[in-house]
Structure formats: structure tokens, C-alpha cells
Amino acid sequence: MDFQQCSCNGSQKAATAEEQRAKDEVLRENVMNKTVQLIYIEGIIPEENLELLRSKLGNHDIGFEWHDMSGAPQAAISDFLAPIILSLPSDVVQAYILGLANSVSYDLLKLSILEIWHNITGKKYNKITSNNIQEIEASFDLNVDTPGKTKFKFKLAGNISDNLKEKCIDNAFQLIESKSYPENHTEYICSYDTDNEQWEKLEQFEFIKKYIIPKNG
């Protein structure tokens, strides 16, 4: 009786392990086939650089698409919304949190973010509104959707050292991995405190009240 129970338990454990492996494989396929999206303005980032990024990310089953917004009305672009936006979908983020994205994939994703950041540093673009055209210094937002539907917008400033840029991105992913936030539909806008080398995380309304409203009187 004991032998039968032991055999049964062993079979159940084997079946459970096999089921888990199958689930993990499905999760890997679902996660790693998702696509990172870039919104940009032509001339700021050379298209050949984007093609190269797509090839590199594609080698690790991460899709990459970009959309040129040149000529489109850009009245909404401000301190709240940057002209260059890189969006990481929740499935790609979940791969990182669960450890399904290996270190090579993470390093490549980080280097891709740094490459885009490097390309826009010091660049300017023509902001088109219904009234006029303004020459504005380019800025960069990293949008991240978490599996729990919480959204992050990391404001990436261009006037910091390359080493600090890299730390800035590492800190962003560490913040996401820490899950020190409610897993609901909250939207956070994050600004990097270069003095303390950490992200200031504010809910969207708090960010607008602290940074946008004072500028607009």
C-alpha cells in the first residue's frame, strides 16, 4: 500500500513537473514573440540604426516596429509627452520579471534603449501645432506596461553621462521587478533624481500638479 502510494505520488510529481515545463514553454513563446514599439520623428534617429536594432532584437525573438510621426500635429508633445516614445508591452516585461528573458536578452534590450537615447541626445525637432512651428530639443519616454496593468512612463533626460544613463535604465527595471506598487490600473510618471541616483515615482495627476501646472501658470 505504501509502495503504491509512493508510486502514485511520484507519478503525480512527474506529471506536475511536465505540466509546468509545458506551461513555461508556452509562456516563453507568448512572451518572447511580443513587439516593442517606437514612435519617433524622422531625422532624429537614422533608419539604418532602427533596422539594425530590429535585426538584433529579432535574433532573440523580440519584435521591433517603429512609426514615423513627422508632419503630424504635435500639440500634445510637452513635458508630459515626449516626441520619442519606446513602449515595452507587459509580456516582454513579464519575461524579465519571471526570469524567462535571459541576461543576454536583457542586456540587448538595455543596449537598444541606450542606442535610441544616444541618437536623440542634443537633437532638435520641429514641433508642429495649428498655430506655428517651434524648434524643440528632443526628449525620450520609456513606456512600460506591467503584467498587473500598472503603467510606467520613465522620462529619460539627455544631459547625463553614459554611465548614469545605464544606471538609470537598470534602476528602472529594478523598480518594476520590485513590485513596490499596486497591481492595478495606476499610471506612474517617473523622473530621475541624478543627485540621489534613483527614480521619483509619481502618479500621473501628482506629476502634472508638481511639474506641468507650475510651468503653465
Going from N- to C-terminal start, the domains of the chain cover 33-215
Q: Which amino acid is at 99?
A: G
The pLDDT value given to residue 142: 95
Q: 29 falls in which pLDDT band (50, 70, 90)?
A: very low
* Beta bridge partners of residue 135, listed in sequence order: 126
pLDDT digits (tens, 9 = 90+) for 44-98: 899 999 999 999 998 888 889 999 887 766 655 566 778 899 999 888 888 777 7
Amino acid at 108: L
Residue 119 CA, chain-centre distance (Å), reads: 17
Using CA atoms, how far apart are residues 168 and 21, in angstroms rounded to an integer? Answer: 34
The model's pLDDT over 139-198, given as tens digits with 9 standing for 90+, comes to 899 999 888 778 999 999 767 889 999 999 999 999 988 877 777 778 999 999 988 989
Distance CA 206, CA 217 (A): 16
For the stretch 30-48, pLDDT in tens is 444 478 999 998 888 999 9
